[in-house]
Amino acid sequence: MVALLLTCGLCWQVFINAAVTQAVVHYSELQQCYYVAREHSAVLCDTRVVMKLLLSWRLWHSVADSVWLLAINAINSLVQTDHPQRQYNVSQLYDAGLIAKMLDIWKVCHILQYVVFCF
């Protein structure tokens, strides 16, 4: 059931925004898509939420690439060079090992897709 719920964009928006002090993912009614705010001062405060999502790699296998991009853009927005809390966010990401875990999961998912495609 959790896997089904997390395949929708709204659920990902809620989970990503729950991990930071200020909403960074928004929905555009006009364009009917989710986007990451360019300018904000959000701080990554709950790495456990992000870690739980990342460790549920089976969920990542069932979502579209656009969800990956949304998550990567959200993290990128927290560590931009002009972000006022960049150093703190970088230390949070580094301490939690989130970047390494995201890359590992992305690699595994794409290897699995390649193996399935080849057979």
Strand partners, 27: 34
Q: What percent of the chain has pLDDT over 70?
A: 76
Domain boundaries, the chain: 2-118
Q: Give one DSSP letter per residue of 20-67, joined into a string.
A: BSS--EEEETTTTEEEE-SS----B--HHHHHHHHH-HHHHHHS-HHH
pLDDT tens profile 9-58: 677 788 889 999 999 999 999 998 889 998 999 999 998 887 877 777 66
